[in-house]
Amino acid sequence: MLSRTAENLFWIARNFERAETMARLLEVGARMALMPQAGHGYRNEWDSLLRASGTAVGFAEKYGDPVQRNIESYLFFDRDNPSSVASCVERARENGRIVRTALTTQVWDALNASYQEMRALERQPRSDLELSQLTEWTMRHAAQLRGAIDATQLRNDGYHFLGLGFALERADNTARLLDVKYYVLLPRVDFVGSELDNYQWQTLLRALSAHRAFHWAYGGDITAHKIAHFLILNRQSPRSLLTANGEALGHLDALAQAYGNATPAQERARALLAQLEKTTIEEIFDEGLHEFLTRFVRENAGLAALVQQTYLSGEAR
């Protein structure tokens, strides 16, 4: 497969996964902002959300103070924000158009339909659009894309590059979503274990569509430790760092097998997974959740860079 084809497949998945995360982030922010105690201090929930998504600087330059309406526009529609849902959907569709021949009709349909509908949404007056409508729209289309890939794509190398894109982006995104909580909490350590604290954790779970799953898995009260465990180390949780990392390794193993060639990317993924597997949640909190997540995001990005270098850059020999 052409390296450029593989690269575009990889980025279809990354862009769409990122669009979904942006929508989920918006949901977290909107719910947290509904709490009466929110909005005090120099950082409110919205500000923390911009920081966690890595869009704070761009937003400040364009709008200044974090006002909810502006943040919604910036994270959903704004083409100046490369991480906005609209930017990600448009890029994913363009990636798809470039490698149209490597996609089934169903996958192309899913990509193309989301882009066409996005353009229709953009033409509607903003006042007619509820935020929940927008987030649901995004998740629905992400699910359609995944379903189409799963049901119709050949299980060849292209499939694994799509899978790698989803897995690496998801690991990154879960870590960032989890980190929102850190930013919210930072000025108010005394809140730990309070009503507000629990509410915020629950909100995070809801945004990840994991609220009920969490209760099935853990039961009892919601605690920071349980949630962190669920999103970092739980093998059943579809968005946990361990699961996403394991999937990335699975795809790298499959590629290495198909090409008859072990690669440094595969080794790096294996090492990362081994490290996660022997980590306990206590150790993570000892290190500091934020410090742990920051380190993870960096290592995950390192793995993505290795994938790029190994398969996508065209420098393979």
Q: Which of 63, 82, 94, 131 binds other proteins (CB under 8 A)?
A: 94
Q: Please name the helix (run of DSSP H) or strand (run of DSSP E) that holds residue 305, with its range, or none.
A: helix 289-307
Q: State in angstroms the smallest separation of the CB of 97 from other proteins.
A: 6
Alpha helices in 219-263 (DSSP H): 224-232, 241-259
d(Cα 70, Cα 203) in Å, to the nearest integer?
Answer: 21
Q: Residues touching other proteins: how many (CB under 8 A)?
A: 26
> Does position 1 bind other proteins by CB under 8 A?
yes
> Does position 3 bind other proteins by CB under 8 A?
yes
Residues 151-190 touching other proteins, rule: CB under 8 A, are 157, 161
Q: State in angstroms the smallest separation of the CB of 92 from other proteins.
A: 14
Q: Which of 76, 201, 296, 311 binds other proteins (CB under 8 A)?
A: 311
> Does position 256 bind other proteins by CB under 8 A?
no
* Cβ 183 vs Cβ 51: under 8 Å: yes
Stretch that binds other proteins, among 17-25, 101-109, 132-140, 267-275 (CB under 8 A): 101-109
Nearer to other proteins, 141 or 176 (CB): 141
**Contacts with 90 (C-beta within 8 Å, 6 or more apart), sequence order:** 79, 115, 118
Burial 210-243 (b: 16+ CB within 10 A, else e): beebbeeebeeebebebbbbbbbbbeebebbbbb
User: Which of 252, 269, 67, 43 has its CA nearest to residue 163?
Assistant: 252
Binding site for other proteins (CB under 8 A): 1-6, 94, 97-98, 100-101, 105, 108-109, 112, 157, 161, 255, 259, 261, 311-312, 314-317
